[in-house]
C-alpha cells in the first residue's frame, strides 16, 4: 500500500508473532501472578511501542496494567542527544510497583538510559526493560535490558509501530525504507 517505498521485509508478521510469544513467556516467568506489588505495570513509550505492547500484553499469562509515556529527544532527527523532554507523563504513581518499560527499538540507548534514571527516581519496586529491536550501537551503552526480540543491522527500519515522518507505523511487518523516501 506504500508502493515501492519499502525496500525489503526485514522481519515478517509471522516472525514477529512468534517472537512476541517467546518474549511473553520469558517476561511472565519473572513476574509471578498475585505479587504483593500488584499487577505488573507495562510502561509503553509512545508511539513506536504501541503494537508491540498490546500484542505482548495479550500473550502474557500474568495480569498487567498499562501506562504510556511520550518523550522527545533533543538533537537532530537522525541521532538522539540523550537530553529528553517529557511530552506526556505517566498518569499514575509507580512507587512500589513492578514496572516493565516496553520499547520499540534501542539505537544509541540514550533515550532509554534517561528514562531509566527518571523512572527509578520514582521508587518502583522493580524496573526492567523489554525491547523488540536493538541496533548495534546499543551494545556499546550501559543499558541493562531484560529481553530483546531481534538484534538488527544498523539500518533505518519502519513498520509495526515504527515511523518515518509519522508514516508506515501501520505496516504489519518490519522493513527497510527505500532511500529515495528520505531523499537518499
Ligand atoms: P536512541 O536514544 O536509542 O538512539 O533512540 C531510540 C529512538 O530512536 C527509538 O525509540 C525510535 O523512536 C528512534 N529510532 C532509532 N532507530 C530507528 C529506526 O531504525 N527506525 C525508526 N523508525 N525509528 C528509530
Ligand atoms: Mg522508542
Ligand atoms: Mg519516530
What interface predicted TM-score (ipTM) does this complex get? 0.95
Q: Would you state the pLDDT for residue 139? A: 78
Which residue, judged by its Cα, is nearest atom 9 of ligand 1?
A: 105
**Domains of the chain with CATH codes:** 6-177 (3.40.50.2020)
| Ligand 1 centroid from CA 157, angstroms | 9
> 172: pLDDT confidence band, cut at 50, 70 and 90?
very high
Average pLDDT over residues 31-42: 92
Pick 78 or 138 by higher pLDDT.
138
The label of the residue with cell 512468534 reads: 18
Strands 6-11 and 40-46: unpaired
107 is catalytic: yes
Average pLDDT of the residues of the chain:
93
Task: Could you list the beta-strand ranges (E) of the chain.
Answer: 6-11, 40-46, 64-73, 84-88, 98-106, 126-134, 147-151, 157-158, 174-177
| Ligand 3 centroid from CA 43, angstroms | 17
Q: Would you state the pLDDT for residue 118? A: 96
Which residue, judged by its Cα, is nearest atom 8 of ligand 1?
A: 107
Pick 20 or 35 by higher pLDDT.
20
Average pLDDT over residues 115-127: 97
| Ligand 2 centroid from CA 179, angstroms | 22
Q: Would you state the pLDDT for residue 77? A: 58
Amino acid at each position: 500500500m506504500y508502493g515501492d517505498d519499502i525496500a525489503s521485509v526485514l522481519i515478517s508478521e509471522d516472525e514477529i508473532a512468534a517472537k512476541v510469544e517467546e518474549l511473553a513467556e520469558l517476561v511472565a516467568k519473572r513476574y509471578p501472578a498475585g505479587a504483593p506489588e500488584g499487577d505488573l505495570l507495562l510502561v509503553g513509550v509512545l508511539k513506536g511501542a504501541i503494537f508491540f505492547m498490546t500484542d505482548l500484553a495479550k500473550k502474557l499469562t500474568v495480569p498487567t496494567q498499562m501506562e504510556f509515556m511520550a518523550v522527545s529527544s533533543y538533537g537532530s532527527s537522525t541521532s538522539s542527544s540523550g537530553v529528553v523532554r517529557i511530552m506526556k507523563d505517566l498518569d499514575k504513581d509507580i512507587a512500589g510497583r513492578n514496572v516493565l518499560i516496553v520499547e520499540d527499538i534501542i539505537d544509541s540507548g540514550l533515550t532509554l538510559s534517561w528514562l531509566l534514571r527518571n523512572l527509578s527516581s520514582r521508587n518502583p519496586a522493580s524496573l526492567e526493560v523489554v525491547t523488540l529491536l536493538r541496533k548495534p550501537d546499543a551494545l556499546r551503552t550501559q543499558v541493562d535490558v531484560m529481553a530483546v526480540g531481534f538484534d538488527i543491522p544498523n539500518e533505518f527500519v519502519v513498520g509495526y509501530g515504527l515511523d518515518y515522518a509519522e508514516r508506515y507505523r501501520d505496516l504489519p511487518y518490519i522493513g527497510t525504507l527505500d532511500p529515495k523516501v528520505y531523499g537518499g
